[in-house]
Structure 1
Amino acid sequence: MLKAAIVLLLLATVVSLFSGLFFLVKDEGQTSKVVNALTLRVSLTALTVALIAWGFYTGQLGTAVTW
Structure 2
Amino acid sequence: MGAGSNEPEVRMKTLFIVAVLALIVWNLGAGLYYMVVDKGTTNRTVNALTKRIALSVALILLVIAGIATGVLQPHDVHRG
Larger radius of gyration between Structure 1 and Structure 2: 2
Alignment root-mean-square deviation, CA:
1.2
Q: Which has the higher contact order (CA 8 A, sep 6+)?
A: 1
Letter in 1 for 2:59: T
Give % identity: 36
TM-score, normalising length: structure 1: 0.87
Deviations 1:9-65 (A, max 9, x none): 100000000000000000001000001001100000011101211221122221232
1:13 is aligned to 2:19? no
Quick check: which one's helix share is greater?
1
Distance across 2 between alignment mates of 1:62 and 1:35:
34
Unaligned residue ranges in structure 1 (runs of 5+): none
**Paired positions, count:** 67
